[in-house]
Structure 1
């Protein structure tokens, strides 16, 4: 991410410890911890789209993302549900 696109962090919610850089790859990696996935979902809307593609995302996390929305989230769920139907 460029400096102008760095995520904003909110009081009471410290970011994961460095050197972790939150990217689409981290959001889609099944090995990423649930704690980090939730942090991304709550604080980085532009990465929510990628969380939907993470096979280890919990139903509760997916429900949160569907309610919170964000760029391309609706599209991500459409692709997910289409894949499950086929």
Structure 2
């Protein structure tokens, strides 16, 4: 009977690392640097554009040049103003008159702003 005690021992189980669990909450994206390019880019999210409209008066004129600016945003900009906003709006209106008001995205030369 003593012989059975010394039977072959089992090999230890192979190490299998567990997959690292993903965090339940992703870290926030780094803050967006508000620049004229961000303000006039059609790819900028509407919530960012509205943030610029409300809190970055120096960049408001660039929102006027953004093809994604909504009529509500343009109206807001006309009401609150800011450096260069009246001139930018005049250029936009002139551009609309020249190109016909049927255009959804009027062309505005950025050098004119």
* Same fold, TM-score > 0.5, yes or no: yes
**Structure 1 residue matching 2:66: 3-state secondary structure:** coil
Stretches of structure 2 that go unaligned for 5 or more consecutive residues are 1-28, 99-113
Q: Deviations over 1:25-65 (max 9, x none)?
A: 00000010000000000000000000000001011111111
Q: Which has the higher helix share?
A: 1
**Structure 2 residue matching 1:51: 3-state secondary structure:** helix
The TM-score, its normalising length taken from structure 1, stands at 0.78
1:67 pairs with one of 71, 79, 84: 79
Report the counterpart of residue 36 of structure 1 in structure 2.
48
Stretches of structure 1 that go unaligned for 5 or more consecutive residues are 1-16
The TM-score, its normalising length taken from structure 2, stands at 0.60
The residue correspondences of 1:1-86 to structure 2 (distance < 5 A) are 17-86=29-98
- Report the Cα offset of residue 20 of structure 1: 1.4
* Count of aligned positions: 70
Select the structure of larger CA radius of gyration.
Answer: 2
Runs of 4+ in 1 over 6 A off after TM superposition: none
Q: Which has the higher contact order (CA 8 A, sep 6+)?
A: 1
- Report the Cα offset of residue 18 of structure 1: 2.2
> 1: CA distance between counterparts of 2:72 and 2:81?
14
